[in-house]
Homo-oligomer: A and B are copies of this chain.
Amino acid sequence: MDDTTKIAITRRLASAAGHIKGIERMVQDDTYCIDVIKQIQAVQAALNKVSTMMLDNHLRTCVTTAIQGDNPLEREQMLEEVVNVFEVTGKLSL
């Protein structure tokens, strides 16, 4: 991962952690439940953005290298991992 991306991702993660600390205080101060839930949803959206940036980086580096390389097992493993990460979206236990 290049340094610019690493710094950008680290900042977003630090911001999300700080956001959660703020939500902790909201809970301790008896903030209205719905407002707390909305802040949690905002953190989840921010974390989604970080995951997307990580995936973007992964596709441009490891996955590209594996697909251009001549190790079919490695290529297969890379693609499976990406698909699995995508599928977690649908991991539902009804």
Chain A residues touching B, range: 35 or more
Chain B residue at smallest Cβ distance from A43 = B47
Residues of A29-68 contacting chain B, CB below 8 A: 30, 32-34, 36-38, 40-45, 47-52, 54-64, 67-68
Within the complex, which residue of B16, B28, B45, B64 is in contact with A67, where a contact is CB–CB below 8 Å? Answer: B64
Chain B residues whose CB sits within 8 angstroms of the CB of A82 once the complex forms: 34, 55, 59, 82
Docked-complex contact B33 and A57, CB < 8 angstroms: yes
The 5 A-B pairs of least Cβ separation, nearest first, read A48-B90, A93-B93, A33-B58, A17-B20, A45-B92
Assuming A44-B93, A48-B89, A68-B68, what are 14 further A-B pairs, CB within 8 angstroms? Answer: A10-B24, A10-B28, A13-B27, A16-B20, A33-B61, A33-B62, A37-B51, A44-B44, A44-B47, A44-B92, A55-B82, A88-B92, A89-B92, A93-B94
